[in-house]
Structure 1
Amino acid sequence: MELEQRVADLERRLAALENAQRSAPCLVEGDFWALDGLKEQLAELGAADGGVLFTGAVRLPTGEYYEWQHGTAAEGLLDGDWAPDAEVFAALGHPVRLRLLREILGGRRTAAELAESDEVGTTGQIYHHLRQLTGAGWLHTTGRGRYEVPAGRVVPLLVALSVARP
């Protein structure tokens, strides 16, 4: 019985993946237009091991607009020590911190405004989470107790969220 359940679960997951691929919007003609551009640049640089590219153009509910892209050769990623990056990922690993980031992107920028949100805890807990996010580079202060997601982190945050979803 357990094997039948596992096969059924795998079939459901496969069907969901196939549907997601079919329904994914194509913004530019050609399925792999960004990938093709990356391959051309990697060939020009002689990066035989490949690379990673992510990019985005986003208008936030506040009206702020961000365009951003980042590319890295695979060699630099695969050969490096990943341990120092743990804090950056760990800061995103708490539901309240993700909620705070979402609220800040939505326009609530001070601890008092954030405290008005549901499920973020006490003011002391909010400050604790804000310190964690600031220390990991997901937030910075803009003066007078105001917080914002740095421009260079808006698209990467949304990329991380999109990768986390099935």
Structure 2
Amino acid sequence: MAALSERVSHLEAMAGESEVAHSASPVVEGEQFWALTGLQSRLGDHPATADGAVMMVGSLTLPDGAPVAWQQGAGTSGMWETDWSDQAATFAALGHPVRLELLRQILSGVHATAELAETASLGTTGQLHHHLRQLVAAGWVKQSGRGSYEVPATRVVPLLVCMVGAER
């Protein structure tokens, strides 16, 4: 009876994971955890990944037609012992609705400050420049010319991963 109870508990746990996986990740040829399976197969016995690894990966086309593909990974060995406060400013820059809207607008193809200023939800020109400075300082945005901004290709997928990770 104990074995049956354990098996039912295991199946219930798997069913719960399956529901989350179905709604949160694309399925490739019927395999729900294809990215996870690939990561686990690459871990091997390398010391940097002895405790595991995390990875973000993405391939997309921006609304302006520009293709973006990026992957980044890190071993988790020693991650619990490091000071995470160094990343606070990077996350804080995303903590304002106007900055998120700015990022969305820039990724959608609106790059010029004058065009961004036409969007009423972004506030006054002074407020717009304040928010742009915060995003530039955190590395989410870079100036691509006088009065023109872009999200660096190396930040597009991490930004979208943060957005997906913030969903509840």
- Which TM-score tier does this pair reach, normalised by the shorter chain? 0.7 to 0.9
2:142–2:150 CA contact under 8 A, matched in 1? yes
* Displacement of 1:158: 0.5
1:49-90 CA-partner distances (Å, limit 9, x unpaired):
101011000101100110000110012432321111000000
1:1-166 to 2 correspondences below 5 Å? 21-24=21-24, 25-46=26-47, 47-166=49-168
Aligned CA distance change for structure 1 residues 76 and 147 (closer, same or farther; 3 Å): farther
Per the alignment, in what secondary structure is the counterpart of residue 122 of structure 2?
Answer: coil
How far, CA to CA, are the matches of 2:115 and 2:23 in structure 1?
Answer: 37
Residue matched to 2:6: none
Per the alignment, in what secondary structure is the counterpart of residue 119 of structure 1?
Answer: helix
Percent of pairs identical after alignment?
51
**What RMSD in Å do the two structures reach over aligned CA positions?**
1.7
Gaps of 5+ in 2: 1-16
Larger Rg: 2
Corresponding residue pairs, total: 150
Per the alignment, in what secondary structure is the counterpart of residue 52 of structure 1?
Answer: strand
Aligned CA distance change for structure 1 residues 69 and 92 (closer, same or farther; 3 Å): same
* Displacement of 1:110: 1.5
Shifted more, 78-87 versus 42-51: the winner is: 42-51
How far, CA to CA, are the matches of 1:151 and 1:42 in structure 2?
Answer: 26
How far, CA to CA, are the matches of 1:28 and 1:102 in structure 2?
Answer: 32
Gaps of 5+ in 1: 1-16
1:30-63 CA-partner distances (Å, limit 9, x unpaired):
1222112211222142422101011000101100
How far, CA to CA, are the matches of 1:28 and 1:77 in structure 2?
Answer: 33
How far, CA to CA, are the matches of 1:152 and 1:76 in structure 2?
Answer: 24
1:4-52 CA-partner distances (Å, limit 9, x unpaired):
xxxxxxxxxxxxx975543443135412221122112221424221010
What amino acid does structure 2 have at the position aligned with 1:142? S
